[in-house]
Amino acid sequence: MSMREVATPSFEGQKPGTSGLRKKVTVFQQPGYLESFVQAVFDCAPELQGGTLVLGGDGRFFNRNAIQTILRMAAANGIDRVLVGQGGILSTPAASAVIRRHRARGGLVLSASHNPGGPDGDFGIKYNIANGGPAPEAVTEAIYRRTQTIRQYRIVDADPVDLDQIGSRKIGTMTVTVIDPVDDYAMLLGGLFDFDAIRALLARKDFRFRFDAMHAVTGPYARRLLVEMLGAPASSVVNAVPLEDFGGGHPDPNPVYAPELYKAAVLDGELDFAAASDGDGDRNMILGKGIAVTPSDSLAVLAANATLAPGYARGISGVARSMPTSRAPDAVARALKIECFETPTGWKFFGNLLDAGRITLCGEESYGTSSDHVREKDGLWAVLFWLNLLAARPGETVLSILQAHWKRYGRHYYSRHDYEAVDAGQATEALNQLRAALPALPGQKIGGLVITAADDFAYRDPVDGSESKGQGLRVICGEQARLIARLSGTGTEGATVRLYFELYEADPAKQADDVQTRLQPLIDFAEAQTGLRKITGRAAPDVIT
């Protein structure tokens, strides 16, 4: 078996975003494009040589082809062993679990998360380090710099590996082991939650439950955990077969892209508890009869009730949230007298805090929640945590739990407005208008609330001292309200402008108002300062969550 060095050009734009490198499938299919990026990873991660690499993805189009290429490149770059999920499948949280349990030196996760799939859809790849989490900025920056100078990649000639057959085989001196993608993950979650109590809850004839896998990676995981291990009816897990194009759907678990589930639970009240996960299994949407739980509230409720789950019975050390996430978790942290951290968007920023033991739970407003059991956000973990919570609080519903939480801690009205596929120049113009106005905003009012601060968020990591600047524009009215504007780093077409609105209400008598109505003064102020709708010609956001 021979190793070849293949000449390749360097490609523009191979800069990893908040969740790795994401581009259209057709971009990744360019000769040498995937190979150049993977070689840059190997060049910047010499610790992988002689060690174990974990490899897998969400099953989207091009996943299998990419895995075969990466296996041949790994053999040429001195990797000793590769653990790859059967069928090329590994959810993002499961990949983190496998890296950690098998003491791998890193992993390559092939996913574009919640982005559409198929031949005309998106593809992505990111490098996770030995703690199971996304590579920190210092590493991703080094990888990007290497992509700008790379001129060749190394690869061996070898027959394709049968990804559907569990077991080990060789590519040269490198061992490739195809593993069950669910085993390690299911074992890990089984030690965190009260499966007996959840099993009893799911067996109740008056408890109506549904999980939507959205034809994405969590189908096999949900069937193993919810159906086989916890006894939920097989019919309660829908869209459970992973498809390369996600069945033509958009695997983003929110009311817009899971309308049938939302209607059944929230509008029609046919379900007592419903949930969905995304393309790679790291996001979650939690629904109850008559209520959709915001991710911010979900993190806060789980933090407040963490000791009800066996894996967290001793309490939690701290909690962290991304800056655009509402400050609902902060109120819980103050009551529990634990640390609460505000980080930039991107799960990699939680890694140091988790490794240092400063936090136990963390989450982002983009439907991501998790804990120190892995170093990624984890959709099914959140679903099981909510089921454990409902089982431990008999007679209560998702709505009643939220209402009790708001009564104690106050309600943080919250919404995110997404303007998708905006011309990059127009997006920059709108945000620059707000940026230019920031110095003059303190002292002005929004709907009677005084602006106390306005800035471009910067973060200094309390563990290693690293700094991240330019993480989002903030307009703050003390503890009462916030407006945040930033560009998303997960899209592949144009720019996605995200506006976040938050208003705190302590009075229980005023906590049942319509969310968008309560936030309207902030929404109007955002348009006045950015001119976003006028600049783009958009009458309304593409997605409101």
C-beta neighbour count of 317 within 10 angstroms: 16
C-beta neighbour count of 342 within 10 angstroms: 16
C-beta neighbour count of 35 within 10 angstroms: 22
**Which residue is catalytic, options 113, 236, 366, 415?**
113
> 326: Cβ–Cβ under 8 A, 6 or more apart, which residues?
294, 296, 297, 365, 412, 414, 502
Q: Assess contact for 501 and 522: CB atoms under 8 A.
A: yes
Q: Is the dihedral of CA 190, 180, 228, 216 positive or negative?
A: positive
Burial tier of 506 (Cβ tally within 10 Å: 0-12, 13-18, 19+): middle
E-only strand ranges, 470-519:
473-477, 481-487, 495-505
**CA–CA gap between residue 323 and residue 326 (Å, rounded):** 8
Residue type, 498: R
Residue type, 424: A
CA distances from 436 to 57, 432, 473, 488, 495 (A): 42, 6, 11, 20, 20
Burial tier of 27 (Cβ tally within 10 Å: 0-12, 13-18, 19+): middle
Q: Assess contact for 451 and 442: CB atoms under 8 A.
A: yes
**CA–CA gap between residue 212 and residue 239 (Å, rounded):** 6
**CA–CA gap between residue 531 and residue 526 (Å, rounded):** 8
Q: Is the dihedral of CA 59, 65, 68, 74 positive or negative?
A: negative
Residue 431, SS3 per DSSP: helix
Q: Assess contact for 273 and 401: CB atoms under 8 A.
A: no
Q: Tokens 């307009």 appear where?
A: 475
Concerning whether 466 is annotated as a catalytic residue, the answer is no
**CA–CA gap between residue 474 and residue 452 (Å, rounded):** 11
Q: What is the dihedral of CA 185, 189, 191, 196, to 10 degrees?
A: -130
> 448: Cβ–Cβ under 8 A, 6 or more apart, which residues?
521
**Which neighbouring-strand residues pair with 274?**
210, 287
Residues forming the active site: 113
